[in-house]
Amino acid sequence: MLVILTKDQLLSPQVVCQSCLLADCQGQPRWHQDRLCCGQLLEPIPDSDTQSKQYRCQMGFRVAEVE
């Protein structure tokens, strides 16, 4: 599952991505073969407990893959 990370909230991608021109026809981020096609993979944060991949989307949001 993908989530949008802000300073103090977790948002559903559907809330944010519906207005993005790079979203698919359902208003979801373009996710293909376990990678976000509309963003860049970020380097893992050292000494972090988080194992999820994080991306920076073209609109500037941080997107995380969580289980």
More confidently predicted of 34 and 5: 5
pLDDT of residue 44: 77
Provide CB contacts within 8 A for 1, sequence distance 6+. 65, 66, 67
**What's the pLDDT at 50?**
61
Rg (CA), the chain: 11
Report the distance separating Cα 52 and Cα 27, nearest Å.
22
What predicted TM-score, i.e. pTM, was given to this entire model?
Answer: 0.78
pLDDT tens for 10-60 read: 999 988 999 999 999 998 899 888 889 999 999 876 656 667 889 999 999
pLDDT of residue 35: 86
Structure token pair of residue 8: 């103090």
